[in-house]
Structure 1
Amino acid sequence: MQSSSELFPVALLSAELRGDLSEDVYRLKPGNSADPTVELALTRLGLATQESRGAPVILLHGSFSNRRFWYSPKNLGLGPFLARAGFDVWIAEMRGHGLSPRNQHYSRNTVADYARDDLPAIAAFVCEQTRQAPHWIGHSLGGITLAAALGGHYLDERSAASVALFGSQISRIYWPLKVPPVEWGSRLLLKRFAHVSGSRFKRGPEDEPIGIALESLRWHRLFGRFGDAERDWWAGLAEVKVPILAVTADGDSQDPAWSCRKLFEQFTSSQKAFLCLGKSQGFTTDFGHIEMLVSKEAQREVWPITEHWLREQRLPEGLVDDAITNEPTYG
């Protein structure tokens, strides 16, 4: 693999013009994990006419998804929006998603692998190319992975200028999993499969390795914790100094507002903000889990707020941290 990096092998797979945007697709082979076959695709977007690029921003998709969540074939999405606003946009695809090939031990992939090995490698490459600490934006599982990397101290202020978490939480309680025989039975059943099909279960265009599902069982079982065998990520969040934005939505039943707020409150960063997207907060609609970032309403109302956060690390005037008053409901 011909390398465009001094850190580890990196191949430039393509360099194209997409309308007013330039698109460079890299494939990284960090070689820093137990599985040496891991390769990660990273798409860089910028204005084709732009001589110098602005601050780097890395976008992380959620489960059953890929780069198209941020960047449609028609050059629409938060990625192109931020590129047209002058940012240097990098869109990562996790192992086996989109342009990232499935690694040899794909079925065993976990958030711990992403947080410990993949995100630091992506950060190191982007820092090398831009000479700046990047901002990070994660949706759903992408946000959870960012929280794991911060709580495990795999990312810090040297590799993250700020972090925005959209629809991300790990506090929702699934009571059946607190019963050991149910959790054991679920684990035995899941181990029969290599992955969970996104298309079959109508969750999205990609599959998820069964390792992610087994890891989630460990988090939510009786006496489970958000962490791995080495580190308690939840406790580590209290030591994070990176500016944090957490965004939730009134119409999000998958990751309800109270649970996203609980994750947000575990951070003790001096710069942090919480925003709930809904009619009660003055927005035109009660946004859903996907619609908070992919919808015409998001384009008008949410994307400009995100741009403002990236520039200022605070919410625009007139928006204040939302106070969650609803009692939690458990699923």
Structure 2
Amino acid sequence: MQHQQSSAWLHVADYQLHLRHLTPDKADCAYPVLMLHGAIENSRIFYNEKGRGLGCFLADRGFDVTCADFAGRGLSNPQASRRFNHSQQQLICLDIPSLINHLYQQHQQPVVVIAHSWAGVVLAASLARFPELQPKVKAIITFGSKRVISVGGFKKRLHIDLVWNLLSPLLCRLYGYLPAKQWRFGADNEPAQYLLDTIGWIRGQAFVDPTDGFDYAAACTDVNWPVSWHFAAIKDQLLGHPLDVQAFLAETGLNSGRYTLLGKAQGHQHDYDHISMLTHPSAATDHFAELELWLKQI
């Protein structure tokens, strides 16, 4: 590895967000990179101690990278439990602004934000709700980010209609949080309220805050989005279906940015899916390398 790894914790309200810093041995980019993970996962989707993942890839090439664990996930304190709940609105209104402001103040430079899956949705919501954050963001990159799952079929009925929309709320009532890791349908657990807050949007309800009614769709029309690049995967047929990704981009206005479909027919080395777009060994010499060049030119 050509970078060093360390951990720090950012205090927000009555909890702490774990930040994994990937510091390059030789810095080669002025802009810090913030990485935000999706639902039922944590920031390790972007890194590990052996130097794998997009975060490590960019750090080895001169970028100062911070991979954040959302509240209750990863190494953040406390963990999701019956005693610690956390909502989607808290993530939008407290956590994401705190993370962006923290890195902006630390580096005195705008932040490049990279989001996987649902993190792209809450990131867009946060930037739309708080216009003062917008000048602090240099670029947005999303991987498989969608708000509504419109596709049908057996997998959708099983994984979304049954597991996410029906079984998961029942598990939240039983345990006080979503034990996705224990039940083996996710890499990490979720606070109960966060899970419940996502269901309406996934089903296609309006892009409006379920807690206070803030209209994110309307706010997005006034956003002057930074440069952006959005990836979808050819074999991602449910959690980030290319059609749902494009619908999310159109809804927010992020479709003014660059869009890439990852698959062999599109000239890539592998037919990627929702997870392998960030974890497959071929990604380093494929779209990771393209992204590195693009980031160093913005």
**Shorter-chain TM-score: which interval?**
0.7 to 0.9
2:30 equivalent in structure 1: 54
Partners of 2:41 and 2:114 lie apart in 1 by 15
2:262 equivalent in structure 1: 277
Tell me how large the CA RMSD over aligned residues is: 2.9
Partners of 1:136 and 1:281 lie apart in 2 by 25
Offset, 1:92: 0.7
Offset, 1:64: 2.3
Change (3 A) 1:221 1:167: closer
1:171 aligns with 2:148: yes
Unaligned runs of 5+ in 1: 1-18, 32-36, 314-331
User: Quick check: 1:22–1:46 contact (8 Å CA) kept in 2?
Assistant: yes
1:311 aligns with 2:296: yes
Partners of 2:145 and 2:27 lie apart in 1 by 35
Change (3 A) 1:135 1:126: same
Q: 5 Å matches for 1:189-268? A: 190-220=172-202, 223-228=205-210, 229-241=212-224, 242-253=226-237, 254-268=239-253
Structure 1 or 2, whichever has the larger Rg, is: 1
2:44 equivalent in structure 1: 68
Q: Give TM-score scaled by structure 1 length.
A: 0.76
Partners of 2:107 and 2:145 lie apart in 1 by 28
Q: 5 Å matches for 1:315-326? A: none
User: Quick check: 1:164–1:246 contact (8 Å CA) kept in 2?
Assistant: yes
User: Quick check: 1:243–1:270 contact (8 Å CA) kept in 2?
Assistant: no
Out of 23, 32, 51, the position equivalent to 2:5 is 23
Offset, 1:203: 3.1
Runs of 4+ in structure 1 over 6 Å off? 103-106, 183-186
What SS does the aligned partner of 2:230 have? strand
Partners of 2:248 and 2:204 lie apart in 1 by 19
Partners of 1:141 and 1:270 lie apart in 2 by 17
Q: Number of matched residues?
A: 284
Offset, 1:68: 1.8
Offset, 1:257: 0.3
1:134 aligns with 2:111: yes
What SS does the aligned partner of 2:19 have? strand
Change (3 A) 1:106 1:117: farther
User: Quick check: 1:111–1:212 contact (8 Å CA) kept in 2?
Assistant: yes
Partners of 1:92 and 1:256 lie apart in 2 by 25
Superposed CA offset, 1:107-128 (max 9, x none): 5312221111011111111111
Unaligned runs of 5+ in 2: none
Change (3 A) 1:198 1:174: same
Q: What amino acid is aligned across from residue 129 of structure 1 in structure 2?
A: Q
What SS does the aligned partner of 1:247 have? strand
User: Quick check: 2:143–2:230 contact (8 Å CA) kept in 1?
Assistant: yes
What SS does the aligned partner of 1:41 have? strand
What SS does the aligned partner of 1:225 have? coil
1:85 equivalent in structure 2: 61
Q: Give TM-score scaled by structure 2 length.
A: 0.84
What SS does the aligned partner of 1:98 have? coil
Q: What amino acid is aligned across from residue 230 of structure 2 in structure 1?
A: A
User: Quick check: 2:97–2:133 contact (8 Å CA) kept in 1?
Assistant: no
Offset, 1:174: 8.0
Change (3 A) 1:269 1:252: closer
Q: What amino acid is aligned across from residue 218 of structure 2 in structure 1?
A: A
Q: 5 Å matches for 1:97-112? A: 97-102=73-78, 108-112=85-89
Change (3 A) 1:195 1:141: same
Change (3 A) 1:215 1:41: same
